[in-house]
Structure 1
Amino acid sequence: MNLPAAAVLLLTLVSISAAQISVPFSPARTMTRQKLLEPSRLNREQRPIQPLPKPNQSPNRNSRANAKIRDVYLKNFYNKLYFAPITIGTPEQKMNVAFDTGSSITWVPSAHSPSRQLLHSISGTRKEYNYESSSTYKANGKPFELSYGAGKVLGFRSQDNVAIAGATVYNQIFGEAIIRPKMFAGSMNDGILGLGFSNIDEGEEFNVFDNMVIQGLLPAPVFSFYLNRYGTDDPDSVLTLGGTNPDYYNGDFAFANLTAPDRWQFEIDRIQLSNSKHFALRKCQAVVDTGSSLIVGPSDEVDALNKRLGAKPLQQGDRKLYTFDRHELKSLPNLEFIVNGHKLSMTSRDYAAQFPGMRIGQFYSGIVGKEFKRGETPVWSLGFSFMRTFYTQFDKGNRRIGFAKASSFIRMY
């Protein structure tokens, strides 16, 4: 059976979301993100986390007087990608980056790549960092390797000033990519800025956010996301660095402590439907992941959930998707995540997905399945669809994550 273009797009998103990988910068050793998320593996290979140094432990050219909450305005590309510009070097070289809560690493394309044609963005412009054009560049040269589901990013480390949201991070270590997967050639972002936890293999110097705190640019090791549902030509979503912005959420935060030492992982008490007292998925681990567009969970649990919702299965090989008709949306129950005793409720308008190329009136379920290996602990991944519903606060200082109802946004229908 041939799938429509929209289904192919969704399958691509599923593949990227389920297979996206973050690994330490160690050429001799790669590890998938899902393996990193596995608690049983943590028990065997737990690595110490680099502590966040006090501001006076690192000489810098900034003053604590510069510490303030800063908003980064993001553009939404068809609900698949949220990105914003940063600059590197002197004079400034502008790059668009996506923000990844699953890794701590920042990398951008290098002008010294032997395969530059693969590094050009969809707009056809050539946004590549050229160290020869920067007076503040300092050589490092150590290699790095980062694996994704579609291939590897390879390159070398460099040091230069990085500016974001009106703040300059001095002497920041980052990666210059000389080889990266072809999937990046069709993306609006040139590189990645990591917002995850540093570990010994990566080194804290890669973490732009941590260095903003160290250099006195932010008042607290906290960042928060507001993601709008509907993309426009203007920035419509916000990453707040150093705290939260009450303009973008309503009510109080529901907090959960982190359950893993080096990732934004927490426990969900229960996943349930508002119209059923007899259906519930009990305690499970989850991560909030800006590298995923959808909600991804174990295939057997996702199948049971979608069947309870009345979604129609759509089989393509060994992959299974689920669809709704437009007229069904109003009668569908809420999807409820119980976190630390607090109910986080998503309506059908939040968890149903629509993509370009779909027939009129058809929606896909934004809850998709992933097969986990035997012995591997399943971890749910809550991507953009979840984050568009809940303003999300990432609190490194208190090792917790918080959710509040996102402010109203433009709806598609």
Structure 2
Amino acid sequence: MKQILVFFFIISFVHGIIRIPLKRQKSLRKTLQEKGKLSHLWTKQGVDFLQYSDSCNSPETASEPLMNYLDVEYFGQISIGTPPQQFTVIFDTGSSNLWVPSIYCTSQACMQHNRYEPSQSSTYVSNGEPFFIQYGTGNLTGILGIDQITVQGITVQDQTFAESVSEPGNTFQDSNFDGILGLAYPNLAVDNCIPVFDNMIAQKLVELPLFGVYMNSIQVAGQVVFCSGGCQAIVDTGTSLITGPSADIEQLQNYIGLTNTDGEYGVSCSLLGQMPVVTFTINNVDYLLTPEQYMLQNLALSLKNNVHITFNPPEK
């Protein structure tokens, strides 16, 4: 297991800053590549990263669909129920619901992960409403339940969450996380479930309605590389990919000199030293990324001498 790289912060009224360590594990993309399943998944899901959408300069308000990217690499621990049942989850700013596998789920994906047992929790309350959520590369169905949720010492009472009873396909089967804890706004929540953090605020468990995600090894330097006119963007902790407007991503890919391999843009590892620095400007602060930081080494045997870029155009 690699060292802790990212921390999720909550401002607690009683204990000050609460740090939730997130552990970096092998991503789903890498797992599927090693098993030779990545190309099959792209074909099955109809994903074509060569299809581009409009420029980001449109003044209209755009909705953000729920996306389940293949490179979610950072996970944290929560517990549900009394006594507590432990789960590894993604803290995802791109969605709003909390779900974990149910003991009644017999899908292969559920069998390989920790499963919630409502009969073992004295604080569980049955809701019984059906639940369905669709991600970009997978979906699941289940029922809603109510129980207490503990996140790094902060216990939320009467939290509605989903107990998945069917997780078809390989999307969750090959993942290293049990479930997802959504941190986005309530209007993105399926079935109008109140998100965990919003319940923390309502129950006065946090002093401020504020949370943050902090990463180490960020260098400040460089210059603007693309999207110089400015872009609206979201910070999505459910993926380690950086998705951008088609025209800018295509220009960046051509500038770096990448070639299309297995549905991804890659380059020989021997060329890393010749590749440019890429700079992102966020709130007038420049963040410099070296090739070693924005390229992912491909662990698949047949492509072991290649690396792939972490920038992708959005799905059409």
Query: Which position in structure 2 is the counterpart of 1:86?
Result: 78
How far off is 1:224 after superposition? 2.1
Using CA pairs below 8 Å that are at least 6 residues apart, which structure has the higher relative contact order?
Answer: 2
Match of 1:328 in 2: 271
Matches within 5 A, 1:3-402: 66=14, 68-79=16-27, 80=71, 81-113=73-105, 115-121=106-112, 126-182=113-169, 183-199=171-187, 202=190, 205-227=193-215, 272-273=224-225, 281-309=228-256, 311-316=257-262, 319=263, 321-357=264-300, 359=303, 361-372=305-316
Q: Kindly state the Cα deviation for residue 325 of structure 1 after the two structures are TM-superposed.
A: 3.1
Pair 1:250–1:220, CA change in 2 (3 A): farther
**Contact between 2:219 and 2:287, CA under 8 Å: does it hold in 1?**
no
User: Match for 2:126: what amino acid?
Assistant: A
Cα distance in structure 2, aligned partners of 1:249 and 1:221? 25
Is the alpha carbon distance of 1:210 and 1:92 closer, same or farther for their aligned partners in structure 2, counting shifts above 3 Å?
A: same
TM-score, structure 2 as length reference: 0.72
Residue range with higher mean Cα deviation, 357-366 or 179-188: 357-366
Shift in Å, 1:148: 1.4
CA distance in 2, matches of 1:332, 1:350: 12
Q: Supply the distance in 1 between the matched residues of 2:188 and 2:93 (Cα, whole angstroms).
A: 17
SS at match of 1:178: strand
Residue of structure 1 equivalent to 2:45: none
1: CA distance, partners of 2:240 / 2:135 = 15
Q: 1:128 to 1:140 in 2, by over 3 A?
A: same
Report if aligned partners of 1:67, 1:218 keep a CA contact under 8 Å in 2: no
User: What residue identity is the alignment partner of 1:287?
Assistant: I
Going from structure 1 to structure 2, the CA distance change for 1:194 and 1:250 (only over 3 Å counts) comes to same
Corresponding letter in the other structure for 1:313: T
Alignment partners' CA distance in 1, 2:22 and 2:189: 30
Say if 1:217 and 1:249 are closer, same or farther in 2 by CA, change over 3 A: farther
Residue 205 of structure 1 and its aligned partner are, at CA, apart by 4.9
Q: Tell me the SS of whatever aligns to 1:188.
A: coil
CA contact (8 A) 1:68 1:217 kept: no
Judge which range, 359-368 or 69-78, deviates more: 359-368
Q: For residues 355 and 207 of structure 1, what CA distance do their matches in structure 2 show?
A: 36
Q: Which runs of 5+ in 2 are unaligned?
A: 1-11, 28-70
Q: Distance in 2 between matches of 1:169 and 1:289?
A: 23
> How far 1:357 sits from its partner (Å)?
2.4
Q: Which residue of 2 aligns with 1:254?
A: none
Q: What's the secondary structure of 1:209's corresponding residue?
A: helix
**Partners in 2 of 1:96 and 1:341 — Cα distance?**
35
SS of alignment partner, residue 199 of structure 1: helix
In structure 2, C-alpha distance between the alignment counterparts of 1:129 and 1:249, rounded to whole Å: 37
> 2:253 is paired with a residue of what secondary structure?
helix
Amino acid at match of 1:188: N
Aligned in 2, Cα 1:293/1:299: closer, same or farther, shift over 3 Å? same
- Structure 1: how far apart are the matches of 2:142 and 2:136? 18
1:315: Cα distance to partner? 4.9
**8 Å contact from structure 1 (residues 89, 137) kept in 2:** yes
Query: SS state of the match for residue 156, structure 1?
Result: strand
Q: Aligned pair in 2 of structure 1 residues 206, 89: CA closer, same or farther (>3 Å)?
A: same
Shift of 1:93: 1.2
Deviation at 1:213, TM superposition (A): 2.5
- TM-superposed deviation, 1:167: 1.8
Q: CA deviation at 1:281?
A: 4.9
Q: Counterpart of 2:233 in 1: which secondary structure? A: strand
